Every structure is written in structure tokens, then in C-alpha cells.
Amino acid sequence: AQSVAQPEDQVNVAEGNPLTVKCTYSVSGNPYLFWYVQYPNRGLQFLLKYITGDNLVKGSYGFEAEFNKSQTSFHLKKPSALVSDSALYFCAVRALTTSGTYKYIFGTGTRLKVLA
């Protein structure tokens, strides 16, 4: 079955420390992967995507993600966390539907809390 897993409901990190939010996936074919961030009472905002090319993808607000094909992972990272990074983060993957079209599958989300 095609799926996305975010194994951690919440990640706590001290301000200034590096952060990692984990994501693993299972899809048929080449994976198209995305990260989104959601602030309270707002819609999801696109951070970055991997479709092909370099395994390290750079995105908005200093975030980056590393694609690892052998581990089927796409972890979100940032070298130095800010308090303002505290939000809900979603990993998503493109999946093929039974009717031959495509859809996005979202993970359950990981709440990042950056402590001052």
C-alpha cells in the first residue's frame, strides 16, 4: 500500500540546535516528495520538494531535506532552529490512484516545538 509515515508526533529542540523531522514513504514508481508547514489557524504552506536530482533539497526559511532511496526516507532538517519554527510539519508523497490518476498522500504531521 502507498503510504507516508511520520513516526514522531512531537519533536522538541532547543533554539540554535539542529532539528530533524522524520518521514518515510512507500510508493510505487519514482517518489515525488514534499514538505509543508502549518501555523495555527492557517493552511499548509509549501516548504520544499524532491522530484529528481540532488538528494539534498533546499527550501524556504532555511529548511532542507535529504532524500534517501535505500531507506525510503525524506527527513526535514535545519542547522539552527528558531522559536518561530514551532509549527506542525507534514510530509507528503505523490501516489497513483486506482483510476490511474495521481493524488497526494499526507503524513499525520509532526509538531515541532523550539524552546528558547
Residues lying near other proteins in the complex (CB under 8 A): 32, 34, 36, 41-46, 49, 51, 90, 92, 94-95, 97, 99, 101-109
- Cβ nearer to other proteins, comparing 30 with 116: 30
Q: Give min distance, CB of 101 to other proteins, in A.
A: 5
Q: Given the complex with other proteins, which of 97 and 116 has the nearer CB atom? A: 97
- Say if residues 36 and 57 touch (Cβ distance below 8 Å): no
| Phi, psi of 69, deg, nearest 5 | -70, -40
Give min distance, CB of 103 to other proteins, in A: 5
Nearer to other proteins, 22 or 49 (CB): 49
Report, in Å, the least distance between residue 36 CB and other proteins: 8
- In whole angstroms, the minimum distance from the beta carbon of 15 to other proteins comes to 27
Helix, strand, or coil (residue 6): coil
Return d(Cα 79, Cα 20) in angstroms, integer: 9
CA dihedral for 49, 54, 55, 57, sign (positive or negative): negative
CA distance 53 to 79: 22
